[in-house]
Structure 1
Amino acid sequence: MDRGNHSAALSSAWSRYVHLTRHAFKMEFRQKNGLAGLVLFAIASVYTCYQVAGSRADVDAWNSLAWVVLLFSAFNAVSKPWPEDSAEMRAYLVHVVKPQEWILARITFFSLLLSALTCIVFVAFTLFLGSEHLNGKQGLSFFLGMQCTSIAMASLLAMIQALAIRANGGFGLIAVLGLPLIIPVILIATRYGMDILNGISFADTAHNLLFLATLSGGFGALGYILFPYLWND
């Protein structure tokens, strides 16, 4: 009987998590201007880099600019408020969902959103700034690193955004809290990118992806553990 109740509880929790994730995407696609703004910001940032560095940027510039654009695209994605972030909606959600389900759904949403933006940034970079630094395997390895980095950023920034919402701090608080904490992610990503662009084999630098995966899991675990204390505040 207890096993059946436990299974039912897990099924119910999973259903709420899936519903929250789907709802996040529905809200995002309803705000077509906001979604278009994210894409436009990413492409405009790459074009600005092209105007500064030209179509044949050296390896150091190419690598650094790629991560800078991805970083600011990530902060831009989490900066805009949502209708359910209002005090009235939060008061309602407290009684219908668990905080762990809410934060995991938000992390999942931002991970998928930033993964899509990463694809756009990578393609735009290869079009505007050239791809002579990347052969087939290097390009795939660099793209994989960008995806892992975007997930790590999403895990951290989703938690930071949730804290900022509860504190009514807005984007200013997201930037103040997020930039210092995201530095380790950028340092690892930059080191990994330089290794790939300098021709070091994927096997010899794959440990950096493991570090990024560890950071992603750590950020997600912190959000899962700490956010419930703010949920009922």
Structure 2
Amino acid sequence: MKSSAFRQTLTLVKKDILLELRQKYAFYGILLYIISTVFVINLMIDKPEEKIWNALFWVVQLFVAVNAIAKSFVQENRGRLLYFYSLVHPRSFIAAKLIYNIILMSVMTLITMGCCMLFLGNPVTSFWYFLGVILLGGISLSLLFTMLAAIAAQANQNAALMAIMGFPIMLPLLMLLSNIAKSSFITVYQPGLPKMFLMMGSMDILIIALSLVLFPFLWKD
């Protein structure tokens, strides 16, 4: 049973990746959004100081996550969802969406980092630490918005609803990520880092658990 669920999940992940490769306009649209947004920020404030750079990076990450992940359920129409409902277990379906969006958001995170360092300068002193933090942050954002997109898909696939529902959870998560990333710009040890990492990891585990438990009930509707 477990091997069957794993195969179903893997097949659905491959399906989403193949669709993304065939419909490149969606990927290029998000890529254009990242480059144009960071370029406009550069025209407005040139090379910002460290705190502003860090804040702007996570704001861009937030909007990239909303735009990239909302379409993962928008592209699944009612007929296709009904077809998948007859073939795969709902937990395999939502697990595949979580994995695919983690991969997509990791790629977008690396692109965002490259654009920010290219156009806004590079104030990061601990590059590998910053890289690890932003990848973990990208995973957290992808998990959160995947769950919210699954809920919003039941309300006529309203992407605005996803953003509204995510606002109360999104703010503390962004503040947490911003505080963790601050250590990338200073050489002094920042107290409380292990606790903040533990909070972020606990939040991710909670989101995954909620997605796997709640989605089968949502899909029945």
1:133-181 per-residue CA deviation (whole Å, 9 max, x = no partner) reads 223xx12111211111110111111111111112214211111112222
Q: CA RMSD in A?
A: 1.8
Indicate the residue corresponding to 2:111 in structure 1.
120
- Taking the aligned partners of 1:36 and 1:23, their CA distance within structure 2 comes to 19
Segments of 5+ residues of structure 1 without an aligned counterpart are 1-8
Task: Give 1 or 2 for the bigger CA radius of gyration.
Answer: 1
Distance 1:207 1:140, change over 3 A: farther
1:174 matched to which residue of 2?
162
TM-score, length basis structure 2:
0.93
Aligned twin of 2:31: 39
Displacement, 1:201? 3.4
2: distance between equivalents of 1:196 and 1:205? 12
Q: Letter of the 2:57 partner, please give it.
A: A
Letter matched to residue 50 of structure 1? N
- In the alignment, which residue of structure 2 is the partner of 1:98? 89
Structure 2 unaligned segments of length 5 or more: list them. Answer: none
- Name the counterpart of 2:148: 160
| Cα distance in 2 between the residues matched to 1:108 and 1:178 | 19
CA distance in 2, matches of 1:69, 1:28: 22
Task: Name the % identity.
Answer: 27
TM-superposed CA distance for 1:83, in Å, is 7.3
Report the Cα distance in structure 2 between the residues aligned to 1:160 and 1:200, rounded to whole angstroms: 37
| Count of aligned pairs | 221
> Using the alignment, how far apart are the partners of 1:14 and 1:168 within structure 2?
29
2:198 aligned with 1:201: no
TM-score by length of 1: 0.89
Matched, 1:72 2:60: no
Q: Does 1:130 align with 2:121?
A: yes
- Measure, in 2, the Cα distance between the counterparts of 1:78 and 1:151: 12
The counterpart of 1:185, out of the listed 165, 173, 179, is 173
Q: Which residue of 2 aligns with 1:4?
A: none
Question: Does the aligned pair in 2 maintain the 1:145–1:209 contact within 8 Å?
Answer: no
